[in-house]
Amino acid sequence: MSKLFIIPSPIGNLADMTYRAVKVLETVELVLAEDTRTSGVLLKHYGITKPVTPYHQHNEHKVLQHLVQQLQSGKQMALLTDAGTPGVSDPGFLLVRECIRAGIPVECLPGATAFVPALVNSGLPMNRFAFEGFLPPKKGRHTLLTQLATEERTLIFYESPHRLVKTLEDFIQYWGPDRQCCVSRELTKMFEENKRGTLQEVRDYFAEKGVKGEIVIIVAGC
C-alpha cells in the first residue's frame, strides 16, 4: 500500500535516530533526500541500503508530480532532510500537501527537531511560543520585526552563523537591548553551547568570540 513517511533525522548526534525510524527506512522502496550525501552517511551508519533520490528546494516543484504518481502506483517512500523534521524550515510541505490532495496516506514519525531542546534549554517561558524559523534576509524583515515587537509569546528563530550577530543587532534595534534571550549552537554535538543573557550581552559575546555551527535563537516575549 502506498504511503509517504516523514522521517526526522538527528540534528547532530547520529545516536538520536529512533528505532522506529530505522525500521521504516529498512522497509520503504525509495528514500527522498534533501542532500543525498548527508542522508547517505546516516543510512550507511545504520546499515541501510536503499535507492536514494534528491528532493530539495531547488527541484521540488519539478519532481513533485512524478513522485505523487509513483506513490499512487503503490510505492512507499520516506522523506529525509539534512537534520530535524522535514517541513520545519526544510523541504516537505509541498509534497505532504499534494499527497493529502491525492488521497495518499502520509505518516510523520516523531523525532529530532532543533527548536524544542533549544527552547527547553533557554530557561524562558515555554507554555506559549511562536516559531518564526528563518527571518527574511531583506524584503519583509522590517515589517516582521516591527510586528513581533509586541508579541508576548516566547519567540524562536533559526539563523546561520555568519548572520547571527547582525540578527541580534536587529533585535536590539527593534526590541531594545535588555530583552532576555538564549542562543543555542551545535545542539547534541560535542561542542554544544547555550549562551543566555540580554540581547546586548549575547550579541557582544558572539561578536568577540565568533560563531560556528547551526543556530537557534530563543527570545523572551514582550
Task: Single out the residue in 108, 131, 153 at which a domain terminates.
Answer: 108
Mean pLDDT across the chain: 96
Q: What is the pLDDT of residues 7-55, one digit of tens each?
A: 999 999 999 999 999 999 999 999 999 999 999 999 999 999 999 999 9
CATH number at residue 71: 3.40.1010.10
Supply the range of the domain harboring residue 44.
Answer: 3-108
Decide if 136 contacts 194 (C-beta within 8 A): no
Among 74, 108, 142, which residue terminates a domain?
A: 108
> What is the DSSP pairing of strand 154-159 with strand 52-54?
unpaired
Residue that finishes a domain, picked among 87, 108, 129? 108
Domain count, the chain: 2
Alpha helices in the chain (DSSP H): 19-27, 36-45, 60-72, 93-101, 115-122, 141-148, 164-175, 199-209
In this prediction the pTM is 0.92
**What pLDDT, on the 0 to 100 scale, is given for residue 160?**
95
